[in-house]
Structure 1
């Protein structure tokens, strides 16, 4: 029968579309997070902001785990390994560096600077997971995308403060890459929801400790007027609890290289949200950088796009 697909192909297509929808939704949520963070940093220093965000996010996920009767206790190293790596790298250190950098780097630029992640991830993954690698077209695509990142970032050597901020954001990208590559849930026995709750808690506790030892980053230096509180709650529940639950689920299914590419999808959402909320302008260099990122992403995903186009034309 024309157009008939075997059951396996049907389920592959359905799962692929669901993952694509979740991927796009995650990119949108994390794009808004850059603008929400920028707004909250007016009243809360970077480390306390990251700490309270993930304190609340972890609490929300633990509440869901308990309410739904899921198993909560990690059972061994197969559970603790992704909890510790993801918590310390992707939650703790990454957000401390990122939020500190965002004090001098605009949200859309910070989001775009994380485009270093898709460049670093294949290189690191090549040594840790030899079966996952980019095609030659994919390598070109990553380089083109990074060119777009550099075009948008445009660091100014004469502005030392801004340059330090750029450096902090790029350092956060390195830490994120390490967390993504070395987080392995293949031996985990704990359910995904409980696993992510513990991961957020480990990151939150690391950030809480940071408020005690990093000068100028104590909760005493923070204030929470109503508008700031609303931004913090949004950060905790949407990009935080829900966003990281989606991220680690997709990371387990798609792998670090595929998930690293999400950093090329986030910046347009960050720029759009910044324009809507704060009226931030988008210059010609930013538009050109976005175009380069789109071209790079298409090159990386060339095989998938060709298969989709062939399926549509054959239907």
Structure 2
């Protein structure tokens, strides 16, 4: 791992991890779906500005039918539904729990890929998948009270993660030719428009109590946790490959837990910590072949 790769990893983990704390702080005073829309407004502006600077106006545009379909899929599943469900859900759960639940995204893509793409899972991969979802159960702790609504926050975050996983698999099916960065930039535009429309349909008030905390939350999410996080993450994929880049998802809960405790005074439940460890073990089993190749390459490099 080069110094640049390590820096990109740290930046992506910090930017994505603190997003959960920013969401938790902001939903205290800003209607959640409107809050998500405002984040996407700012994030889309920054990402598109960077995209146009790199490729020019013509080079930044989606060109094929597959590109447009890919932007639509990402805008609906990875941005709009994901954002609305996550922001609403975080009104009722902690930053750490939401981040750990989000860790199922790499795991949840596997069964969707089996159905949609006809991928196959090895026996060890199946064990990893079961173990990972067992960790999710530990975090969510389903009970009669959960079914009656006390676990609404965790349930919504689970559905948000499943939306991201399903959308990611659909993108693999469509195979857009536009770059991941350009796809994300335009999907953010679609997500911003759809989120504002959804906010209006839900009857959320347009007036916002712009406290200093609310302003900081929107600016932080739109700039650091979007405008900085996504370029760092895509650069990390180019530098280290998708498997090692996805390991960011398992550092994010640690960042969210620590920053949530420091900034918001949140406590970390023992079940959240245990569930995180179990989900991490499940991912290791599911991706054991790719991880083994990376470890062998790293050992040879040393």
The structure 1 residue matched to 2:125, chosen from 138, 148, 167, is: 138
1:204 pairs with 2:192: yes
Partner of 2:152: 164
Relative to structure 1, the CA distance from residue 231 to residue 195 in structure 2 (aligned partners, 3 Å threshold; closer, same or farther) is: same
Partner of 2:137: 150
1:289 pairs with 2:275: yes
Partner of 1:236: 222
Gaps spanning 5+ residues in structure 2: where?
none
1:108 pairs with 2:96: yes
Secondary structure of the equivalent of 2:254? Answer: helix
The structure 1 residue matched to 2:265, chosen from 279, 282, 285, is: 279
The TM-score normalised by the length of structure 2 is: 0.83
Q: Report how far residue 192 of structure 1 moved.
A: 4.6
Relative to structure 1, the CA distance from residue 306 to residue 263 in structure 2 (aligned partners, 3 Å threshold; closer, same or farther) is: closer
Name the structure where helix makes up a greater proportion of residues. 2
Partner of 2:115: 127
Secondary structure of the equivalent of 1:183? Answer: helix
Secondary structure of the equivalent of 2:145? Answer: coil
- How many Å separate the matches in 2 of 1:58 and 1:68? 15
Relative to structure 1, the CA distance from residue 78 to residue 144 in structure 2 (aligned partners, 3 Å threshold; closer, same or farther) is: same
Measured against aligned partners, the alpha-carbon deviations of 1:223-266 in whole angstroms (never above 9, x if no partner) come to 222221111111011222333445567789967x9877754443
- How many Å separate the matches in 2 of 1:313 and 1:65? 36
Q: Report how far residue 33 of structure 1 moved.
A: 0.8
Q: Is the 8 A contact 2:71 2:184 kept in 1?
A: yes
1:90 pairs with 2:107: no
Q: Report how far residue 306 of structure 1 moved.
A: 3.6
Q: How does 1:1-315 map to 2 (within 5 A)?
A: 22=8, 25-68=11-54, 70=56, 71-130=59-118, 132-158=119-145, 160-184=148-172, 186-188=175-177, 190-215=178-203, 217-220=204-207, 222-245=208-231, 263-308=249-294, 310=296, 312=299
Whichever of the two has the greater Rg, that structure is 1
Higher mean C-alpha displacement, 64-73 vs 204-213: 64-73
Q: Report how far residue 113 of structure 1 moved.
A: 2.1
Q: Is the 8 A contact 2:72 2:190 kept in 1?
A: yes
The TM-score normalised by the length of structure 1 is: 0.80
Higher mean C-alpha displacement, 291-300 vs 193-202: 291-300
- How many Å separate the matches in 2 of 1:156 and 1:232? 34
Aligned length: 296
Partner of 1:4: none
